[in-house]
Structure 1
Amino acid sequence: MANASTNNQNQYKKLIQLLEEQLAHSNQQNEALSKQIESLTEQVRYLTKLLYGSKTEKSKYNAPNGQTSLFDNDPSFNESEHTEEQSQQMVSYTVVRKAQNKKRNDSLHDNVEVKAIHHHPENTICDCCQGQMTEIGSKVIREEAKFIPARMEKVQHIEHAYECKKCKSDLYQKSQIKRGKAPQPPIQRSIAGPSV
Structure 2
Amino acid sequence: LINKLTIQYEKSQEENEANRKLIKSLTEQLDQANATILDLSAQIRLMAAQKYGRSSEKRKPDKKDDHDQPSGPSAKTPAPGASARKRPVRSKARKPKESLEDLIKKMNLPVTDELHELSEDQRICSVCGTELTPIGRKLVRHEVRYIPGKLEIIRHYSVSYGCPECKRKSRDPRYLPGEFDIHPVMAKAPESLLFGKWVSPSLMALVITLKALYQLPVHRV
Higher relative contact order (CA 8 A, sep 6+): 2
Q: Same fold (TM over 0.5)?
A: no
More strand by share: 1
* TM-score under structure 1 length normalisation: 0.30
Q: Return the index of the structure with the highest Cα Rg.
A: 1
